[in-house]
Structure 1
Amino acid sequence: MKFVIAPDSFKGSLTAKQVAEAMKKGLTRIFPDADYSMVPMADGGEGTVQLLVDATHGHLITKTVHNPLDQLSEAYYGILGDGQTAVIEMAQASGIQYVNDETHNPMITTTYGTGELMLDAMDHGVKKIILGIGGSATNDGGAGMAQALGAKLLDSDDHELAYGGGALGQLDHIDISDIDPRIKATKVLIASDVTNPLTGKDGASAVFGPQKGATPEMVKKLDSNLHHYAEIIKRDLNKDLEEKPGAGAAGGLGTGLMAFTNSTMAKGIDLVVEFTHLKEQAQGADFVFTGEGGIDFQTKFGKTPYGVALATKEVAPNAPVIVLAGNVGKDIESLYAADAMDAIFATPEGAKPLAQAIKDGPHDIAETAENVGRLIRDLEK
């Protein structure tokens, strides 16, 4: 019997690898001689760099960059085993973890450090960059990233704009004559499941700005500035991006990447499926186990368990997909209706405080996997 074990991390608790090991521990109590294919997963967010580095036998690189507050900080990214592909989480350089209730201010926070990581990756000879763009502290439309790459964002006096979304209203023209020429030859795969446009009620400022400290007045100003930014990009770079799906991801970094780099939007989970060779490893599977810390109706919009289910059903259509989750939320019936997932189980044993649930995570996951294994064994008799 062959089991494929392909979970995401239980964020704030266990890495994807630790979750996979706990699932296997429980299943081996019932099926000690089964074949286990372990494929820890991610969806382009936290943990993607380490996971893909491990999966491809690559290595990590640490770089000093400018964080969202324009202060020097250490960030890392990965070079995959092919030596030609870098994987970067923009949050490493420009993430929300760098600010707090006193310092968060999307009028001034910048994606400059993300551009610095991209430059360093090109210095190491990569030809492709996988860029996960979740967890940002920024609302600058990727302007800082573009400035780090050598683009000049200039006001009417030919002065370089200050960092942050608050300055974009002063943008008069864009000069890309000094942008690093390597960026045109470098394929950038934008790993994101966000489809928001750049501006408007569903745009970067209105939807995500308040999470980053924007007041209602700031949201209005930032949205206006991003609209102006998009108009200048359309005029000077001949790219109409304002309403493009994903343009609003990571405070508009999606727009900046599409404007200034050779980029393509892709679901993070699809990229991870490709680089971990999940489909190849799932061939001949009898059962697939996946999971994440919390699951609800939103899981079908690019989250790991749904992506794993779709991918493995392609090559092992008769293998049930079983999901273990730390918390099972609303409207999971929609996940069953899609004919991808076959069973969903909550792992915590009884009601308990969050801190205790996190502590008990490995035990509870193993116990749940064992109980599911018992059911499988009895049904197989």
Structure 2
Amino acid sequence: MLNRVVVAPSGFKESLSAEAAADAIAAGVRRVLPDAELDLVPLVDGGEGTAVALAAATAGKVVTVPATGPVGETIAAHFALLGDGDTSVVEMAAVAGLSLVPRDLRDPGATTTYGVGELIRSALDRGVRRILVGCGDSGTSDGGAGALQALGARLLDEQGEELPVGGRELTRLHRVDPRGLDARLADVELLVACNPYNVLCGERGVARVFGPQKGATPEQVEQLSAGLENWAFVLTRDVAVPDTNLRYGPGTGASGGLGAGLAALGARLLPRFDVLLDHLDLDARLARADLVVTAEGALDHQTPRGKVPAEVARRAKLHGRPVLALAGTLGEGAHQVPGVDACHGILPAPMELAEALLRASELLTDATERALRMIVLGTRLPVVSEASQAVQADLSGTQRPSSVR
């Protein structure tokens, strides 16, 4: 019997927040299992919704402040003050996320993380002792250069002139002057919740892997990659704490290289789920489930590399719980995600992306209903073992077909 269902999705990028996805899935479950107990655990991965979710989970609050958006305009951004009174959560997507970049302005060589540095300064103004920076859903590829500029560092070209913001400018970087950095950074613990699989440089560097998703042409990808290589070299020489590997260290490529920029200031780059999910008591909630439903925008070969469904499935399997994964698209490798027992796409028929994004909640609810009806049907089918088949054949005086002739 399916008496208790845990719904633990991530958000669908540029479409549904994690909370909205959880509500849509819950509506579909209730159509099939109206009496089931539902435990909704919308999951954050450092991207959109992280600050709000952690504030709610810890009885904290969200603080709205003006800050510089990814294309240079002033926007209403926010960060969280957690219930412990000592910790602030700066969600980079709230000020430099891809959803804040208009589609006709998607040029990761021009977008900036300057607002992230402004949010960190605003958190410092609140007197916190710990700042947790959530990485994910970024619209930038500047290596965190903008954030460091907002925190007081000066990025200089060969003539000693300050560089404009934007990742494409990093190829001209000659020196970083750290003397103006906010002195209060030395008195706080700076943590970065990130995907450790993302690195700054090389063939699997962040510009090559994620640049095209943010609007970069092949030529721009190479330009950004060269800029980040130069950024890593100069930053390591002029600023970074000793023995910091900014080029290939785990998580240095997080949010277009923001991880590397903050690591140079002494931030600790930590696997995001180890940092974020403890606030939600996820393991105990999974242990009580009869079925776990998770979801994300795309389920494919990248899912096991630090995505929410893979982490949910891994943790659920520690308790022997079955996992259903729903996704906007099922790509190569969707059926090989460890721990996922079944996966189901939410599109009932081919449709334009714009329509799918607009109808995401409805499609997710309907897909949940379809998948749950199949699961319920499966629980009602008789299970006939080989031994039972043999006994029935003997009683009926018939022989089972043999594969040996």
TM-score by length of 2: 0.80
The answer to whether the 8 Å contact 1:347/1:368 transfers is no
Structure with greater contact order relative to length (CA < 8 Å, sep ≥ 6):
1
Root-mean-square deviation over aligned CA pairs: 3.1
Unaligned 5+ residue runs, structure 1?
none
Look up the match of 1:250.
Answer: 255
For 1:165 and 1:225, locate their aligned partners in 2 and report how far apart those are by CA, in whole Å.
7
Distance across 2 between alignment mates of 1:20 and 1:296: 20
Give me the whole-angstrom Cα distance separating, in 2, the residues matched to 1:212 and 1:353: 20
Segment of structure 1 superposing worse, 67-76 or 168-177? 168-177
Match of 1:263 in 2: 268
What amino acid is aligned across from residue 229 of structure 2 in structure 1? H
- CA drift of 1:19 comes to 3.2
Distance 1:264 1:191 in 2: 6
Q: TM-score, normalised by structure 1?
A: 0.84
Aligned to 1:341: 340
2:55 aligns with: 53
3-state SS in 1 of match to 2:293: strand
Matches of 1:219 and 1:362, distance apart in 2: 34
How far did 1:278 drift? 0.5
Cα distance in 1 for partners of 2:266, 2:363 equals 41
Query: Corresponding residue for 1:20?
Result: 22
Give the AA of the match of 1:162: P
- Name the structure 2 match of 1:308: 312
C-alpha displacement of 1:226: 2.6
Pairwise CA distance, 1:143: 1.4
Structure 2 vs 1, CA of residues 22 and 158 (structure 1 numbering), >3 Å: closer, same or farther?
A: closer
> Contact 1:185–1:262 (CA<8 Å) still a contact in 2?
no
* Aligned-partner residue type, residue 227 of structure 1: E
Which deviations, in whole Å up to 9, do the C-alpha atoms of 1:271-325 show, x marking residues without a partner?
A: 33222110122233222222223322322111111111112222x22x2112233
Shift of 1:61: 1.6
Give per-residue Cα distances to partners, 1:140-186, cap 9 Å, x unaligned: 22111112112233345554333223433443433333322332343
Q: How many residues align?
A: 375
Deviations 1:8-54 (A, max 9, x none): 23444443333333433444455444433221113222232333333
After TM superposition, list the pairs within 5 Å mapping 1:34-53 onto structure 2: 34-53=36-55
Answer whether contact 1:184 1:262 (CA < 8 A) is retained.
no
1:63-102 superposed matches below 5 A: 63-100=65-102
The question of 1:291 aligning with 2:295 is answered yes
CA distance in 2, matches of 1:215, 1:363: 36
Letter in 1 for 2:256: G
Q: Gapped runs of 5+ residues in structure 2? A: 384-405
Distance 1:97 1:34 in 2: 35
379 and 111 in structure 1: CA distance in 2 versus 1, 3 angstrom threshold: same
| SS of match in other structure, 2:95 | helix
For residues 70 and 273 of structure 1, the distance between their equivalents in structure 2, rounded to whole angstroms, comes to 32
Listed one character per residue, the Cα deviations across residues 182-209 of structure 1 (whole Å, up to 9, x for unaligned) are 3234333323336343233332333444
Pair 1:121-2:123 in alignment? yes
Cα 1:307/1:236, change in 2 over 3 Å? same
**CA, structure 1 residues 113+353, in 2 after alignment: closer, same or farther (shift >3 Å)?**
closer
Q: Which amino acid aligns with 2:39?
A: S
Q: Counterparts of 1:1-381 in structure 2 under 5 Å?
A: 1-28=3-30, 31-100=33-102, 103-155=105-157, 158-193=160-195, 195-237=197-239, 238=242, 239-267=244-272, 269-314=273-318, 316-317=319-320, 319-335=321-337, 338=338, 340-349=339-348, 355=355, 358=360, 360-361=362-363, 363-368=365-370, 370-372=372-374, 374-375=376-377, 378=380
Q: Deviations over 1:59-89 (max 9, x none)?
A: 2221111223333222122223333333333
**One-letter code aligned to 1:322:** L
Partner Cα separation in structure 2 for residue 205 and residue 293 of structure 1: 21
The answer on whether the counterparts of 2:208 and 2:221 sit within 8 Å (CA) in structure 1 is yes
Q: Any conservation in 2 of the 1:199–1:242 contact (CA below 8 Å)?
A: yes
Letter of the structure 1 residue corresponding to residue 257 of structure 2: G
Letter in 2 for 1:345: H
Change (3 A) 1:18 1:181: same
Q: How far is the alpha carbon of 1:353 from its aligned partner?
A: 5.5
1:22/1:365 contact within 8 Å kept: no
SS of the counterpart of 1:8?
coil
Change (3 A) 1:380 1:295: farther
1:102, 1:364 → 2: CA distance? Answer: 32
Report which of the two structures shows the higher radius of gyration computed on alpha carbons. Answer: 2
Residue identity (%)? 39
What is the deviation of 1:259?
A: 0.5
